[in-house]
Structure formats: C-alpha cells, structure tokens
Structure 1
Amino acid sequence: MLSQQKADIELLTLFGKISSLVILLLVLSYLAFNYFGSIKQAGQQHIQVDHNRLLNTLGIIRSQWLIRGKPSPLKLDWRSEPKGDIAATGFVAMAEGGWPILNEASAVGCRELIDELLGAGYSQQVVTRFNSSSGVCRYIDVSGGSISYQTGSGRVIFLTRR
C-alpha cells in the first residue's frame, strides 16, 4: 500500500506541474497579445505625431512666406543644428495660395518635399506614393497609417488603418 500512495503522490505532483504550466502559458499569451496590440497602436500614434508636425510646419512656412512678401521659391531657415546654429535647409517652391508645391511631379518630388518639411531622411521611414491624376503625395507608415498631401490645394489628410 505504501507504493500505491507514493504513485498517487507522484501523479498529483505531475498534475500540479502540468496545471501550473498551462496557467503560466495562458498568462504569457495574454500578455503577448496585449504587447503586440500596443505596438501597433504606438505606430499609429507615431504617424499621428508626424501629421501634427507637418501641419505645424506648413503653418510656419505660410507665415514666413507672407512675412517675406510671398516669394515663389521660399528659403527655409527655421531649423537649428545641434551646435545651436541656424541652418538653411534649402528652397521650396510655393503656390500662389501659400503652400509648398513639388519641384517634380513624381514620387521623387514628394520625397524631396517631405524631407524639406520634416527633416532630411524622413522619406526613408515611410513609403511614398504619388497620384499624378489628382496630384496627391501619400506617405504610408509601417503601421498602415498615412498622410496625404494635396499639392493642388495644400490640404493634408491623415488616415489610420482599423
């Protein structure tokens, strides 16, 4: 009878270990799904921040354009270098209404424009598309969110993927 009790105890111990392992796997899977869901949400927030940056930048550019007498090529000199020196980023062509337009009606022109507006190398972080029939530059983030810039009107549209 002693060997039967020993076998029962071993069986109960094994059952306890298996139960603990199943509970641990359930908790870890719950945490993993929540973690990956928050990563997707953080990516959408990143493109939303870029959308706000673009809107603010366009407002600043329009103000500079008005202050300087509405020049067609506007010199951008509102960024600062790490040493504190103000550095001109270049020129951007302006429409009569006061919004930046493309130098070249293509995806390359869209990349050049967004790099001028949001910083050199920004176009490397997004997929850039250009619709020649509507004149819209579309910047698509890895999360699926996108910013569309209508070159004919200066309108900016932010879309998320749901």
Structure 2
Amino acid sequence: MIALIILLFVLSYLGFHYFGSIKQVGQPSIRVEHTRLLNVLGVVRSQWLMRSKPETLVLDWYSDNPEHASSSGQVRMAVGGWPIPDETSVAGCRRLLTELLGLSYVQQIETQFNSDTGVCRYIGDSGESISYQTSSGRVIFLTEAR
C-alpha cells in the first residue's frame, strides 16, 4: 500500500511537470525570436550592401511555400546599415518588428519605446525581452529577473 502511494506521488509530480512544459512548448519563445531576429538583421544588412546602401530598403523574402513565394516590405536604414523605425514611437517599433519577423508573432508581445535612449523593447509572456538599440543596431536579450 505504501509503495502504491509513493508511486502515485511520483506519477503526479511527473504529470504536472510534463503538462506544464507542454504549455511552454506550445507558445512561441522570445528566446527563439531573438536568434531569428539576429539572423534576419544579417540578411537585411546583406541586402542593403548589395543594393548600394539605400536609405529605404525593399525587403525580399523567398519561401518554398507557394502561398508565400515572395513577400516584400520596406524599412528605413541607418547610415551604418541596420533597420530603424519609421517613427520614434511604440507604433514605429511594432511596425519595424512586423517587417522583420512577421505579423503573427508581433501581435503576441508587448512593445515599449524609450525616447531618451532610442531603444525598442519587445517583451514576451514569460517576462523575457529583446531590446533593439535604434542608434547602433545592437540587439540584447534580457531574461526575467527572479
């Protein structure tokens, strides 16, 4: 009887941790989006260099999916070669991230803009965030302080 009770405790413990992790896996992670953003910024800079450093860059994205064979958007570019928001506001930061990562993910995060430092901050549900410095193009991933 004691062995059965211990087994039930162990199984319930494992069950709660398993189902808790399913919720985390099902939601897009801002940590993954940080890596994706870094890759996209590298591609954007390459396109900017190949097109003779225009002030406004038309982005070309190609996919194997026939429904999304190509899509394009525009971003303003800084002299140093990183994308900048079209306006210095929360709305400008959201539009910039929409152009870089796509609309479906941007709708799920909170966006902030610090006008003193020129930093766009994108905060996920878990409290982790990505800070994008519009003055330098630097991207910083911040974890939730516990």
**TM-score scaled to structure 2, two decimals?**
0.84
**Partner of 1:154 in structure 2?**
137
TM-superposed CA distance for 1:98, in Å, is 0.3
CA separation of 1:130/1:62 partners in 2, compared to 1, >3 Å: closer, same or farther? Answer: same
Identity %: 62
What's the CA shift string for 1:63-87, capped at 9, x where partnerless?
1101100000000112437316322
Question: Whole-Å Cα distance in 2 between the matches of residues 155 and 40 of structure 1?
Answer: 31
**Partner of 1:27 in structure 2?**
10
TM-superposed CA distance for 1:42, in Å, is 4.5
CA separation of 1:57/1:38 partners in 2, compared to 1, >3 Å: closer, same or farther? Answer: same
Larger Rg computed on CA atoms: 1
Question: Whole-Å Cα distance in 2 between the matches of residues 43 and 130 of structure 1?
Answer: 28
Question: Whole-Å Cα distance in 2 between the matches of residues 41 and 82 of structure 1?
Answer: 27
Question: Whole-Å Cα distance in 2 between the matches of residues 66 and 22 of structure 1?
Answer: 66
Question: Does residue 95 in structure 1 map to residue 95 in structure 2?
Answer: no
SS at match of 1:103: coil
TM-superposed CA distance for 1:96, in Å, is 0.3
Question: Does residue 77 in structure 1 map to residue 60 in structure 2?
Answer: yes
How many pairs align? 144
The amino acid of 2:101's aligned partner reads L
1:105–1:135 contact (8 Å) kept in structure 2: yes
- Structure number having the greater helix percentage: 1
Task: Tell me how large the CA RMSD over aligned residues is.
Answer: 2.6
Question: Whole-Å Cα distance in 2 between the matches of residues 73 and 87 of structure 1?
Answer: 16
Counting only pairs closer than 5 Å after superposition, residues 119-138 of structure 1 correspond to structure 2 as 119-138=102-121
The amino acid of 1:75's aligned partner reads V
**TM-score scaled to structure 1, two decimals?**
0.77
SS at match of 1:154: coil
CA separation of 1:45/1:114 partners in 2, compared to 1, >3 Å: closer, same or farther? Answer: closer
Counting only pairs closer than 5 Å after superposition, residues 32-47 of structure 1 correspond to structure 2 as 32-35=15-18, 38=21, 42=25, 46-47=29-30
Question: Whole-Å Cα distance in 2 between the matches of residues 105 and 43 of structure 1?
Answer: 33
The amino acid of 1:60's aligned partner reads V
The amino acid of 1:66's aligned partner reads L
**Partner of 2:100 in structure 1?**
117
1:40–1:143 contact (8 Å) kept in structure 2: no
The amino acid of 1:72's aligned partner reads E
CA separation of 1:119/1:44 partners in 2, compared to 1, >3 Å: closer, same or farther? Answer: closer
